[in-house]
Amino acid sequence: MPENERLAYLLSLETAERLKELSQLSPEERREFSHHWRLWARDEQVPPPGDWRLWLIMAGRGFGKTRAGAEWAREIADAEPEARIALVAASLGEARAVMVEGESGLLAICPPGHMPSFEPSLRRLTWPNGAQATLYSAGEPESLRGPQHSQVWCDELAKWDNANGKAGKAWDNLRFGLRLGEHPRALVTTTPRAVPLLQRLLAEGDVTVTRGKTEDNAEHLPTRFIRDIRRTYGKSLLGRQELDGELIEDLPGALWTRGLLEQCREAAASAPPARVVVGVDPPASAGGDACGIIVCALGEDGIARVLADASVARASPERWAKAVAQAARAWQADRVIAEANQGGAMVGSVLRAAEISLPLKLVHASRGKVARAEPVAALYEAGRVRHAGIFPALEDELCGLIIGGAYEGPGRSPDRADALVWALSELMLGRRGRPRVWVEG
């Protein structure tokens, strides 16, 4: 059977039948058909039918989002010589490393006869028929003001920099420039996070959404990887987000919302630290809760910043004390603030045994965790705290603290959140805002 007829026959089959037929091809035949993406793709990896404007693939890690995006862009470039495609990632480095040169990027999937030339200095791909794609950074919204495009592929939109509304500005400028051709369209491929821009796109309604989880692509992922990552993250909030592709919404009455945390985020500390402390929430037992260890700094600009989450789970006293000491040394902290409700003398002894050569303050909790957290949450609302990076486990706990005294986040206790509260209370709240404390000599 000629190749064109064989291809048409295979494409006419239902997905399960087609994949069965493909599994029986000889190595030579598989190579012959290897660049016919629609033969090998799962249904959710090919463009949806209909006259859609925005296609959003919101799925877990390893789902095959990047491959789907690259194949969509390649199909357009092969069919439309006049195509002008925008490739947008969180940074130019990510656009090049993932969307263009990555294992599932455009240079890897294009067949030899249809391979585009890549000019890094111009941030441009050009196909033999004249179609072009240009790379952009969402972190530079002004670079998207002016250029016109017929199609747009945005990768990992939930990672775009939300500081000062950059992500939203980048998207708006991109949309204003999406005006070439008869049917301008945009594809967004992302692992979900409840950031303002992603929530905004979903709320607009004029979007076709494809959802999926890591296991949907199990055929192309190592069995051990799937087993180990499920064992580690299971159905935790982080696992539901990163593996199941679930958008974790804010809880009613939460002290922190994910939108608030995104507004407080910066890629790295933007001011030198004037003071650094390590907040510690020790576990009651080695087999119980985690030991929360959070590093915070007060910047010379008067803004507090969360620098690191060094928390450890199911650790012996010696192990968590060592982790505290390592964090203090790594960040050149000038004080450790540790909750002492669970055996005050023991906490002090264990930490000193770890050779922490800096002042240690033991603090006693006279109020519940949520009550202690409320004035710290107010600091976030006032714009006086930033997160220098992303801290998923800590942020999940913060978003689980509910006004009125409840905790509805992951785990039995908000250990990381409690450690953060001690650290930021020390740095920002002063004497009136501090819980009752004592200092061992």
| 93 lies in the same domain as 234 | yes
Residue 327 tokens, joined: 């964090």
| 315 lies in the same domain as 368 | yes
| 268 lies in the same domain as 411 | yes
Domain boundary, last residue among 179, 207, 242: 242
Is 33 within a domain?
no
Q: Residue 82 above 90 pLDDT?
A: yes
Q: Which residues contact 75 (CB under 8 A, 6 or more apart)?
A: 37
Cβ burial of 345 (10 Å; 0-12, 13-18, 19+) is exposed
Is 10 within a domain?
no
User: Please, which residues bridge with residue 438 across strands?
Assistant: 362
Q: What is the pTM of this model?
A: 0.68
Is 269 within a domain?
yes
Selected residue with higher pLDDT from 375 and 364: 375
Q: What is the pLDDT of residues 248-290, one digit of tens each?
A: 888 889 999 988 888 898 989 999 999 999 999 988 765 667 8
Q: Residue 423 above 50 pLDDT?
A: yes
Domain boundary, last residue among 179, 209, 242: 242
Domain boundary, last residue among 242, 273, 296: 242
- Kindly indicate the confidence band of residue 433, based on its pLDDT and cuts at 50, 70 and 90: very low
| 204 lies in the same domain as 80 | yes
pLDDT for position 10: 76
| 203 lies in the same domain as 281 | no
Q: Residue 341 above 70 pLDDT?
A: no
- From 138, 170, 140, 142, select the one nearest 155 (Cα to Cα): 138
Q: What is the CATH number of the domain that holds 355?
A: 3.30.420.240
Selected residue with higher pLDDT from 341 and 37: 37
| 232 lies in the same domain as 263 | no
Give me the number of domains the chain comprises: 2
- Kindly indicate the confidence band of residue 439, based on its pLDDT and cuts at 50, 70 and 90: very low
User: Please, which residues bridge with residue 336 across strands?
Assistant: 278, 360
| 180 lies in the same domain as 217 | yes
- From 89, 198, 177, select the one nearest 137 (Cα to Cα): 89
Q: What is the 3-state secondary structure (H, E, C) of the chain?
A: CCHHHHHHHHHHCCHHHHHHHHHCCCHHHHHHHCCCHHHHCCHHHCCCCCCCCEEEEEECCCCCHHHHHHHHHHHHHHHCCCCEEEEEECCHHHHHHHHHCCCCCHHHHCCHHHCCEEEHHHCEEECCCCCEEEEEECCCHHHHCCCCECEEEEECHHHCCCHHHHHHHHHHHHHHCECCCCCCEEEEEECCCCCHHHHHHHHHCCCEEEEECHHHHHHHCCHHHHHHHHHHHCCCHHHHHHCCCCCCCCCCCECCCHHHHHHCEECCCCCCEEEEEEEEECCCCCCCCCEEEEEEEEECCCCEEEEEECCECCCCHHHHHHHHHHHHHHCCCCEEEEECCCCHHHHHHHHHHCCCCCCEEEECCCCCHHHHHHHHHHHHHCCCEEEECCCHHHHHHHCCEECCCEECCCCCCCHHHHHHHHHHHHHHHHHHHCCCEECCC
| Averaged pLDDT of the chain | 87
pLDDT for position 154: 98
Report CA Rg, the chain: 26
Q: In the predicted model, what is the mean pLDDT of residues 415-421?
A: 95
Residue 411 domain boundaries:
258-438
pLDDT for position 345: 55
Q: What is the CATH number of the domain that holds 95?
A: 3.40.50.300
Is 429 within a domain?
yes
Is 213 within a domain?
yes
Is 32 within a domain?
no
Q: CA 190 to CA 27: how far, in whole Å?
A: 33
Q: In the predicted model, what is the mean pLDDT of residues 167-173?
A: 95
Is 14 within a domain?
no
Q: Residue 440 above 50 pLDDT?
A: no
| 272 lies in the same domain as 338 | yes
Q: Which amino acid is at 303?
A: I
Q: Residue 236 above 80 pLDDT?
A: no
Q: What is the pLDDT of residues 117-134, one digit of tens each?
A: 999 999 999 999 999 999
The residue behind tokens 């204003």 is 176
Q: Residue 49 above 70 pLDDT?
A: yes
| 265 lies in the same domain as 311 | yes
Q: CA 151 to CA 47: how far, in whole Å?
A: 13
pLDDT for position 177: 96
| 213 lies in the same domain as 333 | no
Q: Residue 410 above 90 pLDDT?
A: no
| 288 lies in the same domain as 216 | no
